[in-house]
A and B are shown apart, each in its own frame.
Chain A
Amino acid sequence: MNWTPGLLNTLCSAIVAQKDKTFWMPPQASTTATDVDTLFYFIYGLSVFFFVLIVGAMFYFIFKYRRRAGVQAEKTASHSLALELTWTIIPLILVLVIFYMGFTGYMNMSTPPLNALEIKVIGQRWKWLFEYPGGYIDESLHVPVDRPVKLVMRSSDVIHSMYIPAFRLKKDVIPGRYTYAWFEATEPTPPGQEHIIFCAEYCGTSHSDMLSLCYVHEPGGFEKWLREASDFLSRMPPAEAGAKLFKVNACAQCHSIDGTAGKGPTLKDAFGKEETMADGSTVRVDENYIVESIKDPKAKVVAGYQPIMPTYQGRIKDSEIDAIIQYIKQLSGIEPRLEPFDSEKASEDENGDN
């Protein structure tokens, strides 16, 4: 990691060895953040020096050589090769140093260690999904502390950009190819102080709401979290698990839960409803119709909608479909709730996502 020339490192580390937010920078939470900040403050120091030099000289000249009656400008040489070379070569050397520091730092930031934990990232308008080893998908990024994490990222629509300021990490997420990023978090995040994740490449209406959080777990905490989270089907009431599946499978992109129109029919009060199909026939929405619509969505399309839903055959387990059916029933207000369940909170979560 020691990629700066030794002297510079010593000089700069005094300034940058602070983990907290500073006037210029957000908190440092990854192993490479210090490197980035070192370079930032090195360039900053040079910039302040040259700015003071230029503007200082300018104001000094404005004052010293201000126009006075009867005083002519003094004739001085109008060119000097020595001067020109001086102010060509010194800046040239300095920018080459900056270039070198920037490049070596970048190589560290873009070369993931071989033992990195791999997490898949899917960017889609307008949310991030994180797929963990074992196939569990969550809307937040959970990582262990002090362990390199490699993000393998793809987009399912337009270009997005994964940006975690606290890690100084940014990488575009591009449809049609994989891109990669890595980091190693240095401190567990206390509750409520998780690192914010932005989308940094403009992607349309809710671009600025395409946010997520990164939880850094204490040693052992990540594995425990993943075990419990993956097991949500058996832990949660079926309708609540269904609501979660509804989110991570991006159903909400087309199907509203509050009756508003979307690219697909709303699921509010859908269960038990008589729907007219595109071919004129009618179908009552029941368990079998829902299963068919998830596995073979183009078989029976409700009149007035395009057959654009992708199939989930093989991507979703039957037990998960059960949970989704429970959720749709709940949205239709027909299933008596046997377990204590805070419905107000659940519906708040949904609204926050729209």
Chain B
Amino acid sequence: MSISDVTLPAPAAHAHEHDTDSGSYLTASRGILSWLFTLDHKRIGIMYLVAILFSFFLGGIFALLIRTELLTPGPTIMEADTYNRVFTLHGAIMIFLFIIPGIPAAIGNFILPIMIGAKDVAFPRLNLCSFYLWVIGAGFAVYSLMTGGVDTGWTFYTPYSTQTDTSVISVTTGAFILGFSSIFTGMNFIVTIHKLRPAAMGWFKMPLLLWALYATAVIQILATPVLGITLILLIVERVMQIGIFDPALGGDPVLFQHFFWFYSHPAVYIMILPAMGVISELISVFSRKHIFGYKFIAYSSIAIALLGFLVWGHHMFTAGPSALANMIFSCLTFSVSIPSAIKVFNWLATMYKGSISLETPMIYALAFIILFAIGGLTGLFLGALATDIHLHDTYFIVAHFHYVMMGGTTIAFLAGLHYWWPKMTGKMYSEFWGRIAAGFIFVGFNVTFFTQFVLGSHGMPRRYFNYIEEFTFLHQLSTVGSYIMTVGLVICAGTLVHSLFRGRKAAANPWGGATLEWYTSSPPPLENFLKDPPIRDPYDFEGMEYNSETDEYYWPSGDAGEEQTATAH
């Protein structure tokens, strides 16, 4: 692959400057401006992380308002119009501000260049620009919140969204800008993986997270522009009264759904693919076993990215397309389930005859497998036409996508956050409280959302402020679950924040990882490596030893085996 023959941006040349300097990227320069104008991918990643966690907090508050309101039929703590705004904001904030940028922009930004032994992404300024676009886009969302809210649901379905008099325009403008942030990140990652990878690291020597981030970036670049176009058309219709989606002006409301899902279904894979990448890393490291079926996991990421473009119609089975179109979309939908199943089976095979330890990141990773299995299997009910007709737009769907988006992506995000936390901050958190938090979140999550499968299959429609008496008990159970989950998340946040101040100092390789980020100090120096890391199989743990005094894994010297250094090409 000649494209990867480009030299690494010479960490060796600069490394000497830092040889006597043990300072990390956190202490390399000081002051608020050194953060706001930083071009360091690690600092940008941390800023993304803070911003994204704040969004998660905000979206979580709205989630709790929703669940509390649904404790009783009719008004409990708010009126119908308020409720409609709250669930819209919950969805829009969680999707556009948290889940889509979550793993790629925060964790990916931090870890991707280090994983390939580079000192930064290919376009550091574009990277900073993408962060500020995110901030501006998020600002529009907050603005619309202040000016009365939007009550269309996060899907902005026409003609409702072109007729309602809430601030749809500012929210869609926000989503439009956020789209560019996402596109820039994707472009940056693709170029970085192509051009900054050391020659010794062939495509199949890359950690699987990079395959996942690469596949994600492809979707970000190809699908996000369609969302941008759609939102622009929506604004054009509202402002200029040109009939595109609104039948009163001669438009077609279902056209909007096609446009919207042409982006938003691939976006589901923008959300889940990086999560799968994180899990592939963690299962291998904590099982101390070579990942099973590397190529199948890698190719399945690409397969999901491509097939994901062909299934958008399954969101519209009840919207009246022809039976032929429904048949094709249903059939294609099932094709996407296969690569996901392949990944799950390969993760299990990786654990076989391993040496499995249950540190906090692994607890989250295992929780991911259970929850993602439920999320994936319940997708079968929705891909099949006859059952989807009954289950569409009910709580069954709500439960299904929360199992995939929250049980999948968010749990994987937490797994990755706990896994790379020592690398990011240089601090170890309390294992005990980390596991307790994971337990609360897992139990609370299932109480909240498994209940909703039963609600949905009995016919409880989604986005309902009021509901019939029959559903009261299950709604209350679900709400109790959300409170349990909240306790878990609060403990989780407390544990991590506590570690910043009181945490033990982290060693370079506390978990026994073999990917390149574990070859540099925790936290890494400004340019990531003081000396070139060895390029070797990222999943070969043989010969790795544990030093119980420093709580650190290391390779005994001389066991360099087939190692090649990054610049030796």
Contacts and interface: CB of A to CB of B under 8 A. Distances in A.
Interface of A: 21, 23-26, 32, 35-36, 39-40, 43-44, 46-47, 50-51, 54-55, 57-58, 61-62, 65-68, 71-76, 78-80, 83-84, 87-88, 91-92, 95-96, 98-99, 101-107, 109-110, 157-159, 161, 163, 165-166, 168-172, 174-177, 179, 196, 198-209, 211
Interface stretch (B156-164, B267-275, B553-561): B156-164
A67 to B, nearest CB: 4
A171 B320 contact: yes
Contacts of B292: 78-80
B436 interface: no
Contact of A99 (B80, B334, B373): B334
Contacts of B295: 79
Given A103-B327, A205-B80, A208-B80, A163 B386 contact: no
A24 B164 CA distance: 36
A76 B345 CA distance: 16
Contacts, number: 258
Contacts of A66: 355-358
B388 interface: yes
List 8 tightest A-B contacts by C-beta distance, closest first. A165-B459, A102-B384, A176-B247, A105-B386, A106-B385, A208-B464, A47-B377, A95-B334
B160 A159 contact: yes
B237 interface: no
Contacts of A57: 348
Contacts of A196: 459, 468
A84 B461 CA distance: 39
B392 A200 contact: yes
A208 B467 contact: yes
B341 A35 contact: no
Given A67-B288, A172-B318, A43 B387 contact: yes
A170 B392 CA distance: 8
B477 interface: no
Interface string B367-398: 00110011001101101111111101110000
B461 A95 contact: no
Nearest to B73: A208
Contact of B320 (A91, A101, A177): A177
Given A78-B292, A110-B323, 12 more contacts: A43-B381, A51-B373, A61-B351, A73-B354, A83-B349, A99-B334, A102-B387, A161-B318, A165-B458, A198-B461, A200-B318, A200-B461
B352 A79 contact: no
Contacts of A105: 385-386
B320 A74 contact: no
Contacts of A54: 344, 348, 369, 373
Contacts of A103: 327, 330-331, 384-386
A87 B358 CA distance: 27
A84 B293 contact: yes
Interface residues of B, number: 87
B337 interface: yes
A121 B230 CA distance: 31
**Most chain-B CB neighbours within 10 Å: which of A40, A54, A176?**
A54
A229 to B, nearest CB: 25
A78 B287 contact: no
A209 B320 contact: no
B78 interface: no
Interface in B7-64: none
B355 A205 contact: no
A43 B160 CA distance: 35
A341 B398 CA distance: 47
A105 to B, nearest CB: 3
B352 A76 contact: yes
Interface stretch (B172-180, B193-201, B248-256, B483-491): B248-256
A103 to B, nearest CB: 5
Given A50-B373, A87-B345, A158-B160, A36 B386 contact: yes
Interface in B446-480: 454, 457-459, 461-468
Contacts of B80: 205-206, 208
A207 B152 CA distance: 12
29 contacts: A25-B458, A40-B457, A47-B378, A54-B373, A65-B351, A66-B355, A67-B357, A73-B354, A74-B353, A76-B352, A78-B293, A79-B293, A83-B345, A98-B384, A102-B386, A106-B389, A158-B163, A159-B319, A170-B389, A174-B247, A174-B253, A174-B254, A176-B252, A202-B152, A207-B463, A208-B80, A208-B461, A208-B467, A211-B468
A89 to B, nearest CB: 9
**Most chain-A CB neighbours within 10 Å: which of B320, B351, B369?**
B320
B378 A101 contact: no
Nearest to A3: B386
Contact of A65 (B290, B330, B345, B353): B353
Contacts of B345: 83, 87
B563 interface: no
A95 B337 contact: yes
A175 B164 contact: no
B236 interface: no
B16 to A, nearest CB: 38
A98 B383 contact: yes
Contact of B356 (A47, A62, A99): A62
A5 to B, nearest CB: 14
A170 B382 CA distance: 14
B366 A58 contact: yes
B393 A161 contact: yes
B320 A65 contact: no
Contact of B153 (A79, A166, A202): A202
Given A40-B381, A57-B348, A87-B341, A109 B386 contact: yes
Nearest to B380: A43
Contacts of A206: 80
B466 A36 contact: no
A61 B160 CA distance: 51
A99 B287 CA distance: 36
B383 A99 contact: yes
Interface string B274-293: 00000000000001111111
Given A36-B386, A103-B385, A95 B380 contact: yes
A202 B256 CA distance: 15
B72 interface: no
Contacts of A72: 288, 355
A121 B319 CA distance: 16
B522 interface: no
Given A67-B288, A91-B341, A198 B459 contact: yes
Contacts of A201: 157, 393
Contacts of A169: 389-390
Contacts of B457: 24-26, 40
Given A66-B357, A95-B337, A171 B318 contact: yes
B352 A199 contact: no
Interface in B411-461: 454, 457-459, 461
B320 A73 contact: no
A177 B377 CA distance: 35
A179 B384 contact: no
Contact of B318 (A65, A96, A104, A170): A170
A345 B318 CA distance: 38
Given A40-B381, A55-B373, A170-B389, A107 B323 contact: yes
Interface string B238-263: 00000000011000111000000000
B565 interface: no
Given A67-B356, A170-B389, A26 B459 contact: yes
B366 to A, nearest CB: 7
Contacts of A107: 323
Contacts of A39: 384, 386-387
B278 to A, nearest CB: 17
A214 to B, nearest CB: 13
